[in-house]
């Protein structure tokens, strides 16, 4: 992951402008899905609840956090591998706590386990950043009964057989699928993003 860290450290000062020019829609689309499910009563989340804790894993420059903040979420923490990107996230003012140098292929710090009502991971399950097994690491930091949201690119979903991995976690009772919106806008005009929402049914251990 060192090459990814260096790439994003170097890209950080121009990242927001670059992805805006390419019409990167995933952060906005994922948070819009969240708010739609809340409005329909399918998620027990009150954005303005001061006790509700959200974490943005692979937060990058803070685009998801800014969208959450605009919807009333108050306590948002962020984790990323790139210190340069975390500086951009810090400057956004959207986050309460930011934790650097976290590779989402590895277990997250124990003090984060079971702490969050809402866990979001946008843009990470793509390319060769992480394997599907990292889904378990996301679930570990989520409270039992909490909500876990993520995006996958269509080619990642296909190449890693993501459906089968999710079905395994659902079969063991670790996760419950709440919603999946496939072939949605992700980058530019390409409808090549899948948007997933799970309920974490129980405490999840790493495989």
Q: Regarding predicted confidence, which is higher, 190 or 146?
A: 146
Residue whose C-alpha is closest to residue 166's, from 152, 155, 177: 177
CA 4 – CA 6 distance, rounded (Å): 5
What pLDDT score was predicted for residue 2? Answer: 60
Compute the average pLDDT of residues 121-150: 94
Compute the average pLDDT of residues 89-93: 98
C-alpha distances in Å from residue 18, one per residue of 11, 22, 38: 9, 6, 31
Query: 204 pLDDT exceeds 80?
Result: no
CA 15 – CA 136 distance, rounded (Å): 28
Q: Are 120 and 54 in contact (CB under 8 A)?
A: yes
203: confidence class by pLDDT, cuts 50, 70, 90: low
CA 143 – CA 133 distance, rounded (Å): 18
Domains and CATH numbers, the chain: 2-200 (3.40.50.150)
CA 140 – CA 116 distance, rounded (Å): 9
Compute the average pLDDT of residues 169-192: 94
| Sequence-distant (≥ 6) Cβ neighbours of residue 8 within 8 angstroms | 15, 60, 81, 82, 84, 85
Strand-pairing partners, residue 97, are 77
Strand-pairing partners, residue 180, are 196
Query: 49 pLDDT exceeds 90?
Result: yes
Percent of the chain past pLDDT 70, that is, above it, reads 96
Question: Quick one: 50 exposed, middle or buried, by C-beta within 10 A (0-12, 13-18, 19+)?
Answer: exposed
> What are the structure tokens assigned to 159, written together?
């190449």
């Amino acid at each position: 992951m060192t090459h990814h860290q260096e790439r994003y450290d170097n890209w950080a000062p121009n990242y927001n402008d670059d992805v805006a020019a390419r019409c990167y829609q995933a952060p906005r689309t994922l948070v819009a899905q969240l708010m739609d499910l809340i409005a329909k009563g399918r998620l027990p989340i009150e954005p303005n609840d001061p006790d509700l804790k959200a974490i943005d894993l692979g937060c990058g420059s803070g685009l998801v956090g800014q969208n959450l903040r605009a919807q009333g979420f108050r306590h948002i923490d962020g984790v990323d591998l790139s210190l340069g990107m975390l500086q951009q996230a810090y400057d956004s003012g959207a986050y309460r706590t930011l934790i650097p140098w976290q590779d989402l292929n590895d277990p997250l710090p124990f003090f984060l386990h079971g702490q969050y009502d809402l866990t979001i991971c946008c843009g990470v399950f793509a390319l060769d950043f992480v394997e599907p097994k990292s889904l378990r690491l996301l679930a570990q930091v989520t409270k039992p009964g909490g909500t876990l949201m993520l995006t996958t690119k269509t080619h990642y979903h296909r190449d890693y057989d993501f459906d089968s991995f999710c079905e395994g976690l659902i079969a063991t009772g670790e996760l419950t699928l709440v919603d999946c919106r496939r072939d949605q806008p992700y980058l530019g005009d390409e409808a090549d993003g899948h948007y997933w929402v799970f309920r974490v049914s129980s405490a999840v251990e790493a495989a």
